[in-house]
Amino acid sequence: MSLAPEEIADLVVRVITARESVPEAARRAEVPVRSVELWRQLFLDGGLQALEGAGPRRPTPRESLLEKEVESLKEALGEVILELDVWRELRHVRHRCT
């Protein structure tokens, strides 16, 4: 008997919530006990992996380095824009004087 993923998930939830033992679930689904144990472990591991990104996390060292580089580049760009504005203003002043 081949079970659909939804059926496996339902079976695993019944086992995890103690509504059914592993042997009972295996017998009812006509699968080996080892399959139910494996599915339970995969289900729990998958849930843990899904939750790892759910809470606040610290940036990786690479992310921190990139954030610092972005801030440095923003500062440099701001200085260039300021200098460009000064040059434009000087050009405008020269144009008025001639």
Binned at pLDDT 50, 70 and 90, residue 96 comes out as confident
* pLDDT-above-90 percentage for the chain: 71
Parse the chain into domains and list their residue ranges. Answer: 5-52, 58-98
Give which of 15, 74, 2, 83 is closest to 44, Cα–Cα.
Answer: 15
d(CA 28, CA 35): 13
HSE (side-chain half, CA atoms, 13 Å) at 37: 4
**Who wins on pLDDT, 79 or 50?**
79
Q: Is the pLDDT of residue 46 over 80?
A: yes
Q: Is the pTM of this model over 0.85?
A: no
